[in-house]
Amino acid sequence: MRLAVLDAGSNSVHLLISEVVGGVPLPAHSLKGPVHLAEHVTTDGTVPPEAARRLAAAVAQAREQAGRWRCDRLFAYATAVVRDAANRDEVLETVRAGSGMRLAVLPGEVEAELTFRAARRWVGLQAGPMALLDIGGGSLEVAFGRGALPDFAFSLPLGAGRLTREFLPGKGRPRPEALRELRGYVRTSLKDVAARVRWEEPHTVVATSRMFQQLARLCGAAPGRDGPFVARRLARTDLKEAVRQLSALTAAERAELPGISAARCRQAPAGAVVAHQAMKSMGIDRVAICPWGLREGVLLRHLEQGGHDWWPGPALRLANAGADPAPGTGTSPRVPRRLSLGRTPGDSSRN
């Protein structure tokens, strides 16, 4: 069985194609197209029409590639930047009209539950009581559980892109007073959730998301080219220094640091502040970086639920769709590793 997940996020549209082997989704191909929605959201939370059309074009190309790979099903969803948009219905309709895809809009708590499911499968039950942290562009997901599913899951409006727009706009060095205001806002917003996590006393804390991966790389973790099975950790003491380092540089200078991509260099200080403050408020000294996240959680839930309808939108059936595979490639056509949406400056990544 071949399944695909299309994740329309704050920075990019990411298509993950997986082969199911023994009930486990193993990656077969991954494609990404930059859209940078978070950078274009207006102060009142509106996604401009041109940004919505760019999203629709990326979704259309991702759907076409999923068809070329002869995926049995395609699950497509939008995360917080669309979910919380003032003109959400208009954005979703623009995507539907331009791509033929109806994006599901997952509640933040559902995102946290699915991400926890994936992280738990990755680290195993031997990790004991586990807490999860996931920093996206629009929200921070927090979950805790003793078993395969979380006992509680929360989604807070503390995404790196959102906070960058609200507290640290521009491409220069953040003002010290703006950073203090940001820290205070994050600390206050986390107060109740952090107290709950501290009370539960997790044995293991797992962090997912591209933001955590890049911060870990900046703090000395192994680069992505070493593969997903290399153990990666992020210590709070190192993260504190990373906040200072990132805040002392312009966006362009941050993009030259190990692990910090040009696509996320503007969001890096806000993401680092959220990560550090969350760990500090929850009494966490170190997190383990998990390569699985929301996309894998969607696939695992589908596999575990069998034929039951649980997906809050249409799961497009694509079997036998698209062009025939390229000659000499079996069932896997030659497709680009990056969706072709034109050259968007600043989308390279040092990881």
Q: Are strands 73-78 and 24-34 parallel, antiparallel or unpaired?
A: unpaired
Residue 126 tokens, joined: 């031997």
pLDDT digits (tens), the chain, 351 positions: 999 999 999 889 999 999 999 889 999 999 998 898 888 899 888 999 999 999 999 999 999 999 999 999 999 999 999 999 999 999 999 999 999 999 999 999 999 999 999 999 999 999 999 999 999 999 999 999 999 999 999 999 999 999 999 999 999 999 999 999 999 999 999 999 999 999 999 999 999 999 999 999 999 999 999 999 999 999 999 999 999 999 999 999 999 999 999 989 999 999 999 999 999 999 999 999 999 999 999 999 999 886 556 787 766 776 544 433 433 334 444 444 444 443 333 344 444
**C-beta contacts of 144-153 below 8 A and 24+ residues apart:** 144/196, 144/197, 144/200, 144/202, 145/116, 145/120, 147/120, 148/117, 148/120, 148/121, 149/113, 149/116, 149/117, 149/120, 150/112, 150/113, 150/116, 151/200, 152/196, 153/109, 153/112, 153/113, 153/116
Residue with tokens 């992280």: 119
Q: Give the per-residue pLDDT at 319.
A: 52
**Residue 25 Ramachandran class (φ > 0 left, ψ -120 to 50 alpha, else beta):** beta
**How confident is the model at residue 313, as a pLDDT?**
72
Distances in Å between the Cα of 245 and the Cα atoms of 79, 215, 233, 349 are 29, 11, 19, 18
Q: Name every residue whose Cβ is closer than 8 Å to that of residue 86 and which is 6 or more positions away in sequence.
A: 44, 45, 46
Cα distance between residue 264 and residue 262, in whole Å: 5
What is the predicted pLDDT for the residue at 61?
95
Q: Provide the 8-state DSSP code for 226.
A: G
pTM for the model stands at 0.88
Is 2-106+312-317's fold the same as 108-289's?
A: yes
Q: Does domain 108-289 have CATH number 3.30.420.150?
A: yes
220 exposure class (CB count in 10 Å sphere: 0-12, 13-18, 19+): middle
**C-beta separation of 134 from 207 below 8 A:** yes
Q: In what order do the strands lie in the sheet with 286-289?
A: 152-156, 140-145, 130-135, 204-208, 286-289, 233-235
Q: What is the dihedral of CA 85, 91, 95, 96, to 10 degrees?
A: 110
Does residue 79 contact residue 10 with C-beta atoms inside 8 Å? Answer: yes
Q: Residue 32 is encoded by which pair of tokens?
A: 């990404």
Closest to 317 (Cα-Cα) out of 73, 77, 96, 63: 73
- Cα separation, 42 vs 35, in Å, equals 15
Q: Which CATH number among 3.30.420.40, 1.10.10.10, 3.30.565.10, 3.30.70.20 corresponds to the domain 2-106+312-317?
A: 3.30.420.40
Ordered by start, the domain boundaries in the chain are 2-106+312-317, 108-289
DSSP string, 275-306: HHHHHHHTT--EEEE-S--HHHHHHHHHHHHT
pLDDT of residue 307: 56
